Amino acid sequence: MSTLPGGDIEIAGKTVSRLGFGTMRLTGPGTWGDPDDRDHALSLLRQAVNRYGITHIDTADAYGPHTVEHLIRDALHPYPDRVLIATKVGMLRPEPGAWTPHGHPAYLRACVEASLRRLGVDRLDLCYLHRIDREVPLVDQLAVMKALQDEGKIGHIGLSKVTADDIREASKEFTVAAVQNVLNINDRHDPVLELCRDQGIPYVPYRPLDAGNLAAGHGLETALSWLFQLGPHVAPIPGTSNHHHLAEIVKAVAFGGWS
């Protein structure tokens, strides 16, 4: 159990801190390449887990691409049993700042195999379909994720940037372990939030601080307070590349007094 303010949540069969750590910022500009100070990034990951007790670490093969999965392995492997490393597959990165969904089954399979190697594990505890590729039949994308789960290469499957209909369709093929959509106090309407609550699916808001627009002063406390009060199924993953800002995030959660 976490001692981090904000309490715990069960995601992908593990009890982890409701406050997670999003790692997209641990790259170069445009979510591209290595960070300016690699040792600093490694230290930040260790601090999140070992000092603050954040046990839900969120990443993706597209961050860098591949950069952050390598960083996580170098910083935290062998992973403590209490820590959940969640990654995502299904996105091409043609250049800095560019993101293109690619859901061809062979590509998704190759991505999972590569993430296993980069993270140094035999199974991805939680793997999201990063984006549904609307040019590929959804049933084909879901089928390969389920096949990889059946083969033991994925423990639990999540969905990212999806609609309620997407969740219902996926639920015919496998148990949806978590849903990741944009939600913050400036972008506060997502009908999927209630669906997840009703179906007992953890809801993981990404961009919870509106890409940094809510990251300063009392705005940070207000933004995180609003998210935590939406329900115990909500587990935000704010991200930063700065030690001081990470401390401010944890302090803001403590200020809210959730448990």
Domain ranges within the chain, ordered by starting residue:
8-256
Q: Is 256 helix (H, G, I), strand (E, B) or coil?
A: helix
Give the start-end residues of each E strand in the chain: 8-11, 14-17, 21-22, 56-58, 84-89, 91-92, 100-101, 124-129, 154-160, 176-182, 203-206
Among this protein's residues, is 206 annotated catalytic? no
Beta strand 21-22 with 56-58: parallel, antiparallel or unpaired?
Answer: parallel
Q: What is the 3-state secondary structure (H, E, C) of 236-252?
A: CCCECCCHHHHHHHHHH
Per-residue pLDDT in tens (0 to 9) along the chain, 259 residues: 455 767 999 999 999 999 999 999 999 999 999 999 999 999 999 999 999 999 999 999 999 999 999 999 999 999 999 999 999 999 999 999 999 999 999 999 999 999 999 999 999 999 999 999 999 999 999 999 999 999 999 999 999 999 999 999 999 999 999 999 999 998 999 999 999 999 999 999 999 998 777 776 668 889 999 999 999 999 999 999 999 999 999 998 887 655 4
CB 166, CB 135: distance < 8 Å: no
Report the chain's terminal Cα–Cα distance, integer Å. 12
Q: Which CATH architecture is the domain 8-256 placed in?
A: Alpha-Beta Barrel (3.20)
Dist CA 80 CA 252 (whole Å): 26
Of the listed 63, 79, 203, 206, which one is catalytic? 63
The residue to which tokens 């399979």 are assigned: 109
